[in-house]
Amino acid sequence: MDGLKREDLKEEKLLEIEDRIENCKKCDLWKTRKNPVAGDGSANAKIMFIGEAPGFNEDEQGKPFVGKAGKIFDELLDSVNLKREDVYITNVLKCRPPQNRNPKESEIEACMPYLNRQIEAIKPKIICCLGTFAMSCIMKKFNIEKTQSISKIHGKVFHYRGLFDSIKIIPLYHPAVAVYDADMLNTLKKDFEVLAK
Ligand code: URA
Ligand code: SF4
């Protein structure tokens, strides 16, 4: 199969997943969401970012990371010369929890199959977890024992080696923590430098 066809196939798979999310009622969040947020970016991305769940602005626009945390995220991408079109960005939950409350275990369980299929379709080389929620879900998925908190392991590279693929997993602080905290922003910028390599 040539390169172009492979890209088309990835795109096709992503669109199919998006379509299912659009119509999903697997947990109660569909009742209160305005728009589901499947994800955004390139089907051919080498780097995938995973956040927690859509917030107010994301729910309004149907796109991930478009509010205050999104502005920080764009700044961080820019600092390593990456554009949104170069990467893929999504969340563990595809629908906004009311008042941005924490995701429930049952909601994560209902929604994870979409994230799993997105990872399978894109086959990223690097997965960046934004915040503790994404970190826990991804570490669990790849059977990586996580004995330390994000304050100890942010910016560190973990390796998952499967039968046919290998993926680097990097826990990062959630960009939202840097909205009013310049020190956090600097820490995040430093951690992002690993992606420039
Ligand atoms: N926070 C997240 O975790 N995801 C978004 O899409 C926006 C804010
Ligand atoms: Fe479906 Fe996920 Fe939305 Fe729940 S959060 S309704 S599982 S897409």
pLDDT at 25 > cutoff 90: yes
| Domain-embedded: residue 42 | yes
Ligand located closest to 93 CA? 2
Site to substitute for ligand 1 among 65, 66, 133, most atoms within 8 A of C-beta: 65
Radius of gyration of the chain (CA): 16
Domain membership of residue 63 (yes or no) is: yes
Residue 113 domain flag: yes
Indicate if ligand 1 lies below 6 Å from the C-beta of 59. no
Say what the pTM is. Answer: 0.96
Are 97 and 29 within 8 A, CB to CB? yes
- Dmax over CA atoms of the chain, in Å, equals 48
Comparing C-alpha atoms, which of 43, 51, 49 is closest to residue 127?
49
Give the pLDDT confidence of 118-127 residue by residue, as tens digits. 999 999 999 9
Q: Which residue minimizes the CA distance to atom 4 of ligand 2?
A: 27
Q: What is the CATH number of the domain that holds 129?
A: 3.40.470.10
Is 55:103 a contact under the CB 8 Å cutoff? no
Indicate the pLDDT class of residue 164, thresholds 50, 70 and 90.
confident
Q: Is 93 in the pocket of ligand 1 (CB under 6 A)?
A: no
pLDDT in tens, 32-63: 999 999 999 999 999 999 999 999 999 999 99
pLDDT tens readout for residues 89-117 = 999 999 999 999 999 999 999 999 999 99
- Interacting residues of 103 by C-beta distance below 8 A, sequence separation 6+: 52, 53, 92, 93, 97, 133
